Structure 1
Amino acid sequence: MSLLQLFTATDAAPYAWSLVLAGGTVVASIIPLGAARSAANFEMKDMAAPRAMFERFPAWGKRASWAHQNSFEAFTLHAPAAVLALIAALHTGPLPGLALTAAFLHPALRLAYIAAYVGNVPPVRGLCWATGLLCSGILYSEGLKAFLNG
């Protein structure tokens, strides 16, 4: 099976895309962080201690930094879930629709989470965080069920 087939012609394709898109949200979280560094008058000398400039960030920039850090944490939970679902779908066939929904919902929720965090909208941020975590949990659950029942 070619890599292209994995992303297009298999029951595992949604989970491969979920993995890639989740990684993309980590990369996307760099954008507001870069804007915060720009607002803090980033200079090349700041490369010696990039975290030291955190104190110069505006309030939204500090939230951008925290959102960026949390993006790595969320990815480390979601990536194994997506890989488990991917492998399960390759070996046992399509997973339930709930897993498919969770696979695509997670990256969308992570983008909304970043926006809500930087924009200082705590209720939306909390809802996006909790629902994104639930999506990862669903992928773990459905992937394990497929292996145990298949």
Structure 2
Amino acid sequence: MTIAFWCVLVAGLMPIIFAGIAKAGDKSFNNRRPRDWYESVTGYRKRAWWAQQNSHEAFPLFAAAVLVAHLAGAAQNTIDALAIAFIAFRIAYGICYLADIHLARSLMWTGGMVCCIWLFVAGA
């Protein structure tokens, strides 16, 4: 298994991590109506929920980009480096989201997107 494939697993787990951050320690969480609870929270819990949603949105493009890079015959060290960079950008994105640093968050999102695009063209 390549490093890039492990990164796909990590990216797939990121939404769960952000959900855990949002819910941790809040006794008012109601698992029967989780979306109602998410709508009622504020602060870092709300931002963690938004980071969770964005992580779901970012995952398909990243997973597809890694697979396309492999199938197109891109150099494995390039694929691995871009996959690691994507994960690093997404972790930084989440930290910026939780800390409400909006400009840095947008830059981290852009960095992750650039990694996905680069993966698509790496094998060309």
Q: Same fold (TM over 0.5)?
A: yes
Contact 2:96 2:104 in 1 (8 A): yes
CA shift, 1:40, in A, is 6.0
Matches within 5 A, 1:3-22: 7=1, 13-22=2-11
Alignment partner for residue 63 of structure 2, among 79, 98, 122?
79
Shift of 1:55: 3.7
Alignment RMSD, CA only?
A: 2.0
CA distance in 1, matches of 2:116, 2:13: 16
**Structure 1 outlier segments of 4+, above 4 Å:** none
Aligned runs of 1:111-130 on 2, under 5 Å? 111-130=91-110
**Residues in 2 aligned to 1:22 and 1:140: alpha-carbon distance in whole angstroms:** 17
Counterpart secondary structure, 1:48: coil
Give the letter for the 2:13 counterpart: G
Percent identical: 30
Q: Under a length normalisation based on structure 1, what TM-score does the superposition of the two structures give? A: 0.72
Measure the CA separation in 1 of the matches of 2:104 and 2:83: 20
Partners of 1:51 and 1:78 in 2: how far apart? 26
Secondary structure class of the residue paired with 2:107: helix
Superposition pairs of residues 1-150 of structure 1, within 5 angstroms: 7=1, 13-35=2-24, 38-39=25-26, 41-42=28-29, 46-88=30-72, 92=73, 94-95=75-76, 97=78, 99-143=79-123, 145=124
Q: Which runs of 5+ in 2 are unaligned?
A: none
Preserved CA contact (<8 Å) 1:106 1:135:
yes
TM-score norm. by structure 2 comes to 0.85
Contact 1:40 / 1:57 at 8 angstroms: preserved in 2? Answer: no
Cα shift readout 1:80-115 (whole Å, capped 9, x = no counterpart): 001112233xxx462573x44211100111111111
